[in-house]
Structure 1
Amino acid sequence: MAARARLTVLGLFALAAVGCPGISPLPAQAVRDTVKRGGEIASQPARDVGVAQTKIPPLLAAAKAAPYSMNGLATCQQIRGAIEELSAALGPDFAAGSEKKENKVGKLAEAGGKTVVNAFIPFRGLVREISGAAPAQRQLNAAIDAGFARRGFLRGVAYVRKCRQRAR
């Protein structure tokens, strides 16, 4: 049963990746994102029961411990470097006026995949609490939030110090 569901989830994401008849093919980045998300969803049951552990990246753990620390950040270059490291861990920063086009086929495949995977584990929320997966996810989410706060703080410091931004 588990193998069949895994194939179903991966099949949905493969369909989203290559496109459907009458729908234009997806750009390469959308395909990579869709396949990556498919793998994350397919491995969710292992995380739910505690087989696969959720790890907090050291950079985000440090941000959680001291989001407003200026240790080691005396120059504009050091501040820019810290911002770039956070962006590598968190993804691109918010840019006003830019809207990302939503991949409708990918979102449908994601919803279908989540439905199939979530049907595997009855009382999933309770299982996640007992196994420690839910508290681990909350810790990871807190570290991600701290990373966002730190990046925003460092952007503010760079602005106040009139640090030049690197070309993007």
Structure 2
Amino acid sequence: MPNKLLIMAGAAAVLLASSAHAQVKPPAKPEEPSGRWGEAGKKAVDIGTQPVRDVGLSKREVPPVLAKAFDDPYSLAGLKSCQALANEVKALNAALGPDYKVGAEYAENRAGKLAEAGGKTLINSIIPFRGLVREVTGAAPADRQMNAAVDAGLARRGFLRGVHLKQGCKTRF
């Protein structure tokens, strides 16, 4: 077991040392500060804590704005003003990350992606019969629920941006 912890720590260190995420150039200003380690650190923590989620000891909560989007992604209830529309889009941006930028160039850090894939492979090999364990503990259904909420949030954000544009609003997101 100590060897597995050592492997996990090594994988996390590799991920922390690299930028393990795809970026859009030029990078958009983040809504929230990404902290000392940035996106690579978030990914390393996410990968390192995956076994704890797999066995049901930790669960991710669906953010309320995404749960609302899941319930009715095309609702305009309470969104009569341009400012209300913009505020709702800002809330979705906070939960989903920055929106697509027209004309932005896609760039990927290959070394970072390789480190991320290696870290995930090491972490995922810790639990035998991982897929079955995830179904039994409820981790897989929780991930499917989170993915459905994210999909609804993306649909809602696109819809609200379209309504915002159609109404001729000038407020910014």
Instruction: Provide the TM-score with structure 1 as the length reference.
Output: 0.86
Correspondence list, 1:11-160, <5 A: 11-16=13-18, 32-160=38-166
Matched residue SS, 1:96: coil
Q: In 1, Cα distance between the equivalents of 2:58 and 2:145?
A: 15
In the alignment, the residues of structure 2 paired with residue 159 and residue 15 of structure 1 have an alpha-carbon distance, to the nearest angstrom, of 41
Report the secondary structure of 2:18's partner residue. helix
Question: Using the alignment, how far apart are the partners of 2:58 and 2:109 within structure 1?
Answer: 28
Cα contact 1:13–1:38 (8 A) shared by 2 = yes
What is the rounded CA distance, in whole Å, between the counterparts of 1:40 and 1:164 in structure 2? 37
Gaps of 5+ in 1: 18-27
Using the TM superposition, give the Cα deviation of residue 165 of structure 1 relative to its aligned residue in structure 2, in angstroms: 4.3
SS, match of residue 56 in structure 2: coil
Match of 2:5 in 1: 3
Aligned length: 157
Confirm or deny: 8 A CA contact 1:10 1:39 kept in the other structure.
yes
Identity %: 48
Give the number of the structure whose residues are more often helix, by fraction.
1
Q: TM-score, normalised by structure 2?
A: 0.84
SS at the partner of 1:100? strand
Q: SS in structure 2 opposite 1:71?
A: coil
The runs of 5 or more residues in structure 2 that have no matched partner are 20-33
Query: Which runs of 4 or more aligned residues in structure 1 lie more than 6 Å from their structure 2 counterparts after TM superposition?
Result: none
User: What amino acid maps onto 2:51 in structure 1?
Assistant: P
CA contact under 8 A between 1:48 and 1:128: conserved in structure 2? Answer: yes
SS of residue matched to 2:83: helix
